[in-house]
Amino acid sequence: ETTVNRIAAGEVIERPASAVKELVENSLDAGARRVDIVLRDGGRSLISVDDDGAGMDRDDLQLAIERHATSKLMDDDLLAIAQFGFRGEALPSIGAVSRLAIESRAAGLDTGWSITVDGGRVGEAKPAPRAAGTRVEARDLFYATPARLKFLKTDRAEFGATLDTIKRLAMAHPEVGFTLKDGERTAFTASAEQGELPDRRAARLGRVMGRDFIDNALAIEAEREGVRLTGLAAVPTYNRGNSMQQYMFVNGRPVRDKLFVGAVRGAYHDFLSGGRHPVVALFLEIEPHAVDVNVHPAKAEVRFRQPGVVRGLIVGALRSALAEAGH
Ligand code: ADP
Ligand code: MG
């Protein structure tokens, strides 16, 4: 059983960033307005995610670490986009490959509870005083699976992957405050944004991507066959050669998608030189059933039923924004 769990866990948890993504998504699902993340040694020795969400009572806590236990309903919307996680797999998977400790207090109850899972062995639930919400700590990731450990990159690279994951989630959830620490050092912080969604989103984009990007970006707003695209795209002179700063979201969730990358590249084709990459933050809203569900859930990939429509929308919107700005 434990071996099976460890093998299955490798499917979900490949590196610290994938554990962080699953834990932060749980916090967001629990309605957190604040999520504080701490990593030590790139996440190898410690990953800690603390939230002020709905929390769990003793029974919830014991259920949460069992395989296939999920408290979440599979509504159409979640189904369509696959929720980007294996249902009920994240906590048991992390527990199978680390020393996991969870403490939680359900909103409205006056006692908190804690539980540990060490390499798949579940301990007893114990009372633990804390504020409403949940803290999940995973120590010594992959300590029992040396083969996995070997595939990890430097602490710096692993931390960088987590920082990227947090930035994407922070852009998708401007109403939530985030902090990310690399040991004692605060690497990222964004307080909860106020106001209507467009204002919140604009404020958060500025926070994550920098004023400099905002000041050098064109507003994107377009629609085609019921698919809507909004966001910001950098003017050609701003585009960067050092890194791929392309942030893309489908129905509010971060995605990594070849179609997006290709369409953006195509739109900027005439302006790209010296290996520069266009810098964009694009939000696509599409009817859930027009997005394919059978894509590897841990990889944040999507497949569109009508890729031509989506590609045309992106290329068209970016080209006309560039043309209007005189490029
Ligand atoms: P899933 O998210 O697919 O349900 P997980 O293994 O990630 O599976 O989590 C199992 C369950 O544990 C969740 O359904 C939820 O009930 C509970 N849970 C996990 N993390 C939190 C959290 N931060 N706050 C409240 N409940 C949580
Ligand atoms: Mg989950």
In ligand 1, the atom with minimum distance to the C-alpha of 22 is: 7
3-state secondary structure of 248: strand
Place of tokens 């909103």: 107
CATH code given to domain 210-324:
3.30.230.10
Q: Which of 103, 106, 110 lies closest to 57 in space, CA to CA?
A: 106
Please report the pLDDT score of residue 62 as a whole number: 94
> 320 alpha carbon to ligand 2 midpoint, in Å?
40
**Secondary structure element (H or E) that encloses residue 7, with its range:** helix 2-12
Provide the residue-wise pLDDT of the chain in tens; the chain has 327 residues: 455 555 555 567 899 999 999 999 999 999 999 999 999 999 999 999 999 999 999 999 999 998 766 666 555 444 444 444 456 788 999 999 999 999 999 999 999 999 999 988 999 999 999 999 999 999 999 998 888 899 999 999 999 999 999 999 999 999 999 999 999 999 999 999 999 988 999 999 999 999 999 999 999 999 999 999 999 999 988 877 666 789 999 999 898 888 999 999 999 998 887 778 899 999 999 998 898 755 665 667 788 999 999 999 999 999 999 999 988
**In whole angstroms, what is the distance from residue 79 CA to residue 267 CA?**
32
243 within ligand 1 shell (Cβ under 6 A): no
pTM over 0.95: no
Q: What ipTM was assigned to the predicted interfaces of this complex?
A: 0.99
Question: Which residues, by Cβ under 5 Å, contact ligand 2, an ion?
Answer: 26, 85, 90
49 within ligand 1 shell (Cβ under 6 A): no
Residue nearest to atom 23 of ligand 1 (CA): 27
Q: What stretch(es) of the chain map to CATH 3.30.565.10? A: 2-190
CB 316 within 8 A of CB 222: yes
55 within ligand 1 shell (Cβ under 6 A): yes
Query: Which pair of tokens denotes residue 167?
Result: 């930035």
> 309 alpha carbon to ligand 2 midpoint, in Å?
32
Superfamily of domain 2-190: Histidine kinase-like ATPase, C-terminal domain (3.30.565.10)
Please report the pLDDT score of residue 11 as a whole number: 64
Please report the pLDDT score of residue 273 as a whole number: 74
